[in-house]
């Protein structure tokens, strides 16, 4: 397996600590040796290849090695797949055919605005399959701030280092009279123009899979440091001519050189969604006269600045690598979709109306995934960035008329719910400011009261990606019926109810008491789908009868990428209410336990095939627990509400240990814009944000011995887990700033103030800690009497 290298002494010391029970004196000597040796920077603990071993049938992350700066407008990735395939890079493949600028948030959404660079020697080869070169992971170096690979068929080493809107390439050639660098504009609309006198290639690409206006372009400029000996372009059929300009569906350009052994050709590349002139401006602003090494160093420093806000000190090197690799994934999406004009002001091309506007814009995000933990982490640790994202949502609303639920780069009709309400309310409740909250409140209400399929943009075109499908039924009956032709109806009902809770919380904070009461009442609509006879959430017909036949193991149908075993826990706003419905604490705990002990049987008849989410549940030996997808990822923490927090501690640590690693198969399913990573990051710290817009985090089991968080206020929060080890997963006691803390939750306000959070860990559960009904996190309902 490929891991980022550190010093030999660090590896040896970490392995020794991880595999043996050292006596205190020996452990102290090891710690002294580690302190004396050079420690790797946090960014060098990251393995961008984590989660890249994937296929359509099975996901271990479904990610590519993103060479980028945090939240950068562009990422760069090696390409091993075919043009247009969502699986651009897969670890098991042997040939590479380019390094592309990518904006892909997921293989299921696919890419847009992509183009690739590649280098060759000898006879020119244009088509991907022809030009692809054998490569080895042994001759591949991947960091967030650079990528390097040896193209064996051509004896060329290719490197790239990123900025937010640009990058530098360095190609090291052998002695050759026929050395080539090509730019592939990909199919979907492209233009290239070679300007030999300026040593550059300019052009644009338009490839996309939706979510763009008609005038969408990604303009690029590629500046070389060598004169060209030969210049050529190719047409849609791959025919090469001496023409220096070409436009079509799929065109490209190639420039050639005579090189000596070891000669390096540098290419500085930048792009813009606004104009060719803006692409040049981005190049000058972000790279200018910088060398490749300088660009690389700046990218490395950008990562280190963000990662250093969460500093982990622990002897388990593998866990630290996994933690920072997960944090790296969290800090990529949503990506910047704004640029800086000639006056240095923030402007953006709008993927909603096709015009250029002032202000921020972010994109490439599915809120169905990321509202759960990614955005809560931003609100906790990166509120200034979160504020920019909220400002971007205000601009989206003004330019497109609606909040996005999936943006890539504009509205995309994917997934269900109106989960934008959760991220907006959670941000505001947790103190994020600097955006027009009243405009976003109006947008939330509009989204929550309009039937999906009926919303239109300013030109009268229907936008099916926003609003709530079945909202009229939902408002009339309190649920979306099973028998009215709306798929995934039970899941929609449950997700609408959670979003209604978030709306009620924001309404209350804004002094809108009537709205607060209305949406709080709607947040209780989950009750309409609880079937006391089966003990599960269940589809319900419009006449009030239950969906029949009912199989709780059936995936899809009434649910979204899951079944009743998963969605029955989707009551984040009122866990106590769910406990009451299920018959009290002990029955609730028993039902939670059964998720892990019931064999992973399933019914895939709705899909007609075993979708990858089903397979990922089946193979990990955790029963019906499907951590590879989002609907159930919070479930472990529900033990905190039921007087059995020690079971949350056990399962949280078990999932971290078994399902995550900084390796190509390091995720249990789709990583999904940072969400599956965010679960690990929060859980490793020892707490998790179950309930949106509540300002609380349910406590689990901290993974590390010591963590230092630099909070946005500048204050420091230390998290110490005394006696922590792979065996000591159970909390014996907790203190916060020296005072005993028996509650199974922490508040946002307390964490923000910094201080010292101390856990004492042990090998056996302390079943008294946090067991009192008075110690549980927030719920809308009170315990049943």
631-644 confidence digits (pLDDT tens): 999 999 999 999 99
Provide the pLDDT for residue 783. 84
**Among 173, 240, 234, 237, which Cα is nearest to 203's?**
234
Report the mean per-residue pLDDT for the chain.
Answer: 94
DSSP collapsed to 3 states, 332-365: CCCEECCEECCCCCEEEECCCCCCEEECCCEECE
Angle at 24 between CA 20 and CA 28, to 5 degrees: 95
Instruction: Calculate the CA 762 to chain-centre distance.
Output: 33
- Whether residues 95 and 35 fall in one domain: no
| pLDDT tens-digit map of 304-351 | 999 999 999 999 999 999 999 999 999 999 999 999 999 999 999 999
DSSP collapsed to 3 states, 611-678: CHHHHHHHHCCCCCCCCCCHHHCCHHHHHHHHCCHHHHHHHHHHHHHHHCCCCCCCCCCCCCCCHHHH
- In this predicted structure, the answer to whether residue 4 has a pLDDT above a threshold of 90 is no
- Tell me which residue range forms the domain holding 51: 44-306
Provide the pLDDT for residue 30. 42
- Whether residues 61 and 139 fall in one domain: yes
Provide the pLDDT for residue 370. 98
Sign of the torsion angle spanned by Cα atoms 187, 188, 191, 192? negative
- Coil, strand or helix at 182: strand
**Separation of alpha carbons 586 and 283, rounded Å:** 62
Buried b (16+ CB within 10 A) or exposed e, 280-317: bbbbebbbeebebeebbebbbebbeebbeebebebbbb
Provide the pLDDT for residue 689. 98
What the block records as the tokens of 236 is 């849609």
- Whether residues 113 and 173 fall in one domain: yes
Provide the pLDDT for residue 460. 54
Q: Using omega within 30 degrees of 0 as the cis cutoff, is the peptide bond preceding 549 cis?
A: yes
**Separation of alpha carbons 422 and 366, rounded Å:** 12
- Whether residues 99 and 12 fall in one domain: no
- Whether residues 99 and 34 fall in one domain: no
**Separation of alpha carbons 520 and 517, rounded Å:** 5
Within a domain: residue 292? yes
- Whether residues 84 and 15 fall in one domain: no
Angle of helix 24-36 versus helix 8-19 axis, rounded to 10: 160
Using 50, 70 and 90 to split pLDDT, how confident is the model at 464? Answer: low
Angle at 442 between CA 437 and CA 448, to 5 degrees: 120
- Whether residues 13 and 109 fall in one domain: no
CATH classification of the domain holding 93: 2.70.98.10
**Could you count the other beta carbons within 10 Å of the beta carbon of residue 90?**
17
Instruction: Yes or no: say if 503 and 519 are a contact pair by the CB < 8 Å rule.
Output: yes
Beta bridge partners of 357: 348
Using 50, 70 and 90 to split pLDDT, how confident is the model at 21? Answer: very low
Instruction: Yes or no: say if 671 and 62 are a contact pair by the CB < 8 Å rule.
Output: yes
- Whether residues 36 and 50 fall in one domain: no
- Of the residues 306, 323, 354, which one is the last residue of a structural domain? 306
- Whether residues 92 and 71 fall in one domain: yes
- Coil, strand or helix at 565: helix
Provide the pLDDT for residue 126. 97
- Of the residues 286, 306, 326, which one is the last residue of a structural domain? 306
| CA distance readout (Å), 538 to 209, 446, 532, 572 | 35, 28, 10, 17
Within a domain: residue 168? yes
- In this predicted structure, the answer to whether residue 11 has a pLDDT above a threshold of 90 is no
* pTM for the model: 0.93
**Among 606, 611, 605, which Cα is nearest to 626's?**
611
Within a domain: residue 217? yes
What the block records as the tokens of 779 is 């719920």
| pLDDT tens-digit map of 30-43 | 444 444 456 679 99
Strands 264-272 and 166-172: antiparallel
**Separation of alpha carbons 496 and 46, rounded Å:** 37
Within a domain: residue 214? yes
Task: Please list, in sequence order, all residues whose beta carbon lies within 8 angstroms of the beta carbon of residue 16, skipping any fewer than 6 positions away.
Answer: 22, 30
Task: Please list, in sequence order, all residues whose beta carbon lies within 8 angstroms of the beta carbon of residue 300, skipping any fewer than 6 positions away.
Answer: 41, 43, 143, 145, 146
State mean pLDDT over 158-174. 98
Within a domain: residue 353? no
User: Residue written as tokens 């930048």?
Assistant: 270
Q: How many structural domains compose the chain? A: 2
Residue with the bigger pLDDT between 451 and 555: it is 555
Instruction: Yes or no: say if 525 and 504 are a contact pair by the CB < 8 Å rule.
Output: no
Residues belonging to the chain? 785
- Whether residues 103 and 251 fall in one domain: yes
**Could you count the other beta carbons within 10 Å of the beta carbon of residue 150?**
19
Reported as half-sphere exposure (CB side, CA atoms, 13 A), residue 193 has a value of: 10
Using 50, 70 and 90 to split pLDDT, how confident is the model at 454? Answer: low
- In this predicted structure, the answer to whether residue 15 has a pLDDT above a threshold of 90 is no
Instruction: Yes or no: say if 144 and 66 are a contact pair by the CB < 8 Å rule.
Output: yes
- Whether residues 35 and 133 fall in one domain: no
For the chain, what percent of residues have pLDDT higher than 90? Answer: 92
**Among 627, 609, 623, 49, which Cα is nearest to 329's?**
49
Provide the pLDDT for residue 40. 75
- Residue 569 sits at φ, ψ, to 5 deg, of -100, 5
What the block records as the tokens of 407 is 């943006």
What the block records as the tokens of 625 is 């627990």
Beta bridge partners of 271: 220
Within a domain: residue 428? no
State mean pLDDT over 61-87. 97
Task: Please list, in sequence order, all residues whose beta carbon lies within 8 angstroms of the beta carbon of residue 678, skipping any fewer than 6 positions away.
Answer: 326, 330, 370, 372, 373, 374, 376, 377
Within a domain: residue 564? no
State mean pLDDT over 506-528. 98
Task: Please list, in sequence order, all residues whose beta carbon lies within 8 angstroms of the beta carbon of residue 34, skipping any fewer than 6 positions away.
Answer: 9, 10, 13, 315
State mean pLDDT over 671-695. 98
| pLDDT tens-digit map of 761-782 | 999 999 999 999 999 999 999 8
- Whether residues 57 and 36 fall in one domain: no
- In this predicted structure, the answer to whether residue 152 has a pLDDT above a threshold of 90 is yes
Provide the pLDDT for residue 529. 98
- Of the residues 281, 306, 331, which one is the last residue of a structural domain? 306
Using 50, 70 and 90 to split pLDDT, how confident is the model at 108? Answer: very high
- In this predicted structure, the answer to whether residue 365 has a pLDDT above a threshold of 50 is yes
| pLDDT tens-digit map of 578-618 | 999 999 999 999 999 999 999 999 999 999 999 999 999 99
- Residue 275 sits at φ, ψ, to 5 deg, of -170, 165
Strands 166-172 and 156-162: antiparallel
**Could you count the other beta carbons within 10 Å of the beta carbon of residue 497?**
26
Instruction: Yes or no: say if 114 and 207 are a contact pair by the CB < 8 Å rule.
Output: yes
Region of residue 424 (left: phi > 0; alpha: psi -120 to 50; beta: else): alpha
| pLDDT tens-digit map of 646-673 | 999 999 999 999 999 999 999 999 999 9
Within a domain: residue 104? yes
């Amino acid at each position: 397996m490929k891991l980022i290298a550190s010093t030999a002494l660090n590896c040896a010391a970490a392995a020794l600590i991880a595999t043996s029970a050292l006596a205190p004196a020996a452990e102290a000597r090891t710690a002294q040796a580690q302190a004396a040796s050079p420690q790797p920077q946090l960014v060098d603990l990251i393995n961008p290849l984590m989660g890249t071993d994937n296929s359509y049938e099975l996901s271990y992350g479904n990610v590519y090695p993103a060479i980028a700066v945090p939240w950068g407008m562009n990422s760069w990735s090696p390409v091993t797949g075919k043009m247009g395939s969502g699986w651009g890079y897969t670890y098991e493949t042997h040939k590479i055919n380019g390094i592309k600028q990518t904006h892909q948030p997921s293989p299921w959404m696919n890419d847009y605005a992509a183009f690739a660079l590649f280098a060759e020697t000898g006879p020119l080869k244009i088509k991907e399959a022809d030009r692809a070169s054998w490569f080895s992971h042994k001759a591949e170096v991947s960091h967030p701030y650079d990528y390097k690979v040896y193209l064996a068929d051509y004896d060329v080493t290719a490197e790239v280092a990123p900025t937010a809107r640009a990058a530098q390439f360095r190609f090291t050639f052998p002695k050759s009279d026929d050395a080539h660098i090509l730019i592939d504009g990909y199919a979907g609309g492209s233009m290239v123009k070679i300007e030999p006198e300026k040593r550059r290639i300019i052009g644009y690409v338009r490839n996309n899979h939706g979510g763009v206006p008609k005038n969408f372009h990604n303009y690029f400029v590629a500046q070389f440091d060598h004169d060209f000996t030969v210049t050529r372009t190719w047409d849609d059929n791959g025919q090469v001519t001496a023409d220096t300009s070409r436009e079509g569906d799929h065109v490209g350009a190639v420039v050639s050189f005579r090189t000596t052994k070891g000669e390096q050709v540098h290419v500085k590349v930048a792009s813009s969604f606004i104009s060719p002139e803006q692409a040049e401006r981005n190049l000058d602003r972000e790279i200018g006269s910088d060398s490749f090494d300088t660009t690389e160093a700046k990218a490395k420093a950008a990562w280190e600045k963000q990662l250093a806000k969460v500093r982990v000190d622990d002897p388990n090197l593998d866990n630290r690598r996994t933690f920072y690799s997960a944090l790296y994934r969290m800090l990529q999406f949503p990506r910047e979709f704004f640029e800086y004009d000639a006056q240095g002001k923030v402007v953006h091309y709008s993927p909603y109306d096709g015009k250029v506007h002032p202000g921020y814009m972010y994109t490439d995000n599915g809120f169905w995934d990321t509202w759960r933990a990614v955005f809560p982490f931003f609100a906790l640790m990166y509120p200034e960035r979160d504020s920019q994202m909220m400002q971007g949502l205000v601009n989206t609303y003004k330019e497109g008329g609606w909040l996005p639920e999936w943006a890539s780069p504009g509205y995309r009709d994917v997934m269900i719910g109106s989960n934008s309400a959760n991220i907006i309310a959670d941000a505001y409740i947790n103190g994020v400011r600097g955006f027009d909250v009243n405009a976003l409140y109006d947008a939330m209400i509009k989204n929550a009261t309009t039937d999906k399929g009926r919303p239109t943009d300013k030109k009268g075109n229907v936008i099916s990606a926003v609003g709530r499908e079945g909202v009229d039924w939902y408002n009339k009956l309190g649920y979306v019926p099973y028998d009215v032709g709306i798929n995934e109806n039970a899941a929609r009902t449950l997700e609408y109810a959670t979003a209604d809770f978030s709306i009620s919380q924001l309404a209350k904070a804004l002094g809108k008491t009537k709205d607060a009461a209305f949406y709080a009442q709607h947040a209780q609509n989950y009750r309409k789908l609880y079937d006391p006879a089966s003990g599960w959430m269940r589809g319900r017909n419009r006449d009030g009868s239950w969906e029949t036949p009912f199989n709780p193991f059936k995936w899809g149908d009434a649910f979204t990428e899951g079944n009743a075993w998963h969605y029955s826990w989707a009551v984040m706003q009122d866990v106590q209410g769910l406990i009451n419905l299920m018959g009290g604490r002990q029955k609730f705990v028993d039902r939670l336990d059964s998720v892990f002990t019931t064999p992973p049987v399933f019914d895939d008849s709705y899909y007609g095939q075993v979708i990858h989410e089903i397979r990922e549940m089946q193979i990990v030996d955790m029963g019906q627990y499907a951590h590879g997808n989002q609907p159930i990822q919070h479930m472990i923490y529900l033990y905190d509400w039921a007087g059995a927090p020690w079971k949350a501690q056990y399962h949280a640590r078990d999932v971290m240990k078994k399902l995550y690693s900084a390796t190509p198969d390091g995720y249990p399913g789709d990583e999904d814009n940072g969400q599956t990573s965010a679960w690990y990051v929060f859980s490793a710290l020892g707490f998790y944000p179950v309930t949106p817009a509540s300002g609380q985090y349910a406590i689990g089991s901290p993974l590390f011995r010591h963590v230092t968080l630099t909070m946005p206020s500048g204050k420091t929060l230390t998290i110490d887990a005394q006696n922590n080890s792979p065996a000591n997963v159970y909390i014996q006691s907790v203190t916060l700033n020296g005072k005993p803390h028996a509650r199974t939750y922490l508040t946002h306000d307390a964490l923000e103030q910094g201080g010292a959070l101390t856990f004492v860990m042990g090998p056996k559960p302390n079943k008294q800690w946090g067991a009192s009904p008075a110690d549980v996190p927030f719920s809308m309902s009170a315990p049943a009497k």
